[in-house]
Amino acid sequence: MSLRVDNEIKKKVDTFRERITGEAEDLVANFFPKKLLELDGFLKEPVFNVADLRDIHSEINFKVPDPVVITNSHDGLDLQHAKKRKLEDGAADENCQGGTKVFVMPEGMMKSNGQLVDLIERVKPEIRTLIEKCNTVKMWVQLLIPRIEDGNNFGVSIQEETVAELRTVEGEAASYLDQISRYYITRAKLVSKIAKYPHVEDYRRTVSEIDEKEYISLKIIVSELRNQYVTLHDMILKNIEKIKKPRSCNSEALY
């Protein structure tokens, strides 16, 4: 028993299918190769070829406060009852010894690493573009999958592998955005530690290490974006006949 579909709705659906087909075929034939060449050129720019990673460090302007020296234990301070008590966030409560209380930043807002922020703002649109284009091509291939039948499904398996590869690329690209968010959160926590404990040099060094790691990660991300465009372009072109026509005609198989 077949379902009855309104003719006008069917026409709109067919128009949508035709539009997706045209966009996807143009993406595979033209956009993917152009984009991989563009990203390859991006990787060759001076911004991604810094010889000394110290050049991407940003200065942290937190001054170390002068030490307070107590020479007389009977000057009104009850030191015997001043005990340290660790909290979950590593800070101390009002009655315990802890780091420096921070009410306002002496230099105003503590800014992010400007060089890395500029680089991230260039990389994020590339990630979003890959996700969107993969989604379009994936929809196109899925619409080409024929109805389920017994036998003669080799072409269908190629279509399914192509869809799986496109879905994997989408997931990996989305994880790159999560990675960028984690960098900002991690760096913010470290800078907060520096504000509270400005006399601990290791926190300052860790911020520099985090910045260097993110710089290297961004270069790897752009490399992976380029490689994914190359892989998808090559994979789809090599199997384009089976993707567009997964099953051969019965007459061709018999005679």
In this prediction, residue 149 carries a pLDDT of 79
| Average pLDDT of the residues in 18-37 | 96
- Return the residue matching tokens 């005990």: 83
- Return the residue matching tokens 């019965």: 250
- Name the band, by pLDDT with cuts 50, 70 and 90, for residue 104: low
What gap in Å lies between CA 50 and CA 39, rounded to an integer? Answer: 17
| Average pLDDT of the residues in 146-151 | 81
Question: Per residue in 12-24, pLDDT tens?
Answer: 999 999 999 999 9
251 vs 159, higher pLDDT? 159
Residue 76 has pLDDT above 50, yes or no: no
Token code pair at residue 44: 């060759």
What gap in Å lies between CA 168 and CA 79, rounded to an integer? Answer: 60
Please state the three-class secondary structure of 182-243 as a single string. Answer: HHHHHHHHHHHHHHHCCCCHHHHHHHHHHHHHHHHHHHHHHHHHHHHHHHHHHHHHHCHHHH
Question: Per residue in 193-240, pLDDT tens?
Answer: 988 888 888 999 999 999 999 999 999 999 999 999 999 999 999 999
Residue 32 has pLDDT above 90, yes or no: yes
Residue 43 has pLDDT above 90, yes or no: yes
Question: Per residue in 79-96, pLDDT tens?
Answer: 444 444 444 444 444 444
- Name the band, by pLDDT with cuts 50, 70 and 90, for residue 1: low
First vs last Cα of the chain: how many Å apart?
A: 33
Per DSSP, 3 falls in state P
| Count of Cβ atoms closer than 10 Å to residue 221 Cβ | 22
| Average pLDDT of the residues in 55-75 | 68
Residue 213: closest CA among 187, 188, 192, 191: 187
Q: Which residues contact 145 (CB under 8 A, 6 or more apart)?
A: 156, 159, 160, 246
Per DSSP, 91 falls in state -
Residue 99 has pLDDT above 70, yes or no: no
Answer yes or no: are the C-beta atoms of 245 and 155 closer than 8 Å.
yes
Residues, the chain, total? 255
What gap in Å lies between CA 216 and CA 193, rounded to an integer? Answer: 24
Percent of the chain with pLDDT over 70: 79
What gap in Å lies between CA 226 and CA 219, rounded to an integer? Answer: 11
Question: Per residue in 151-194, pLDDT tens?
Answer: 778 889 999 999 999 999 999 999 999 999 999 999 999 999 98
In this prediction, residue 93 carries a pLDDT of 45
| Chain mean pLDDT for the chain | 84
- Name the band, by pLDDT with cuts 50, 70 and 90, for residue 68: low
Distances (CA, A) of 218 to 48, 84, 135, 227: 9, 41, 23, 14
- Return the residue matching tokens 């990630």: 127
- Name the band, by pLDDT with cuts 50, 70 and 90, for residue 78: very low
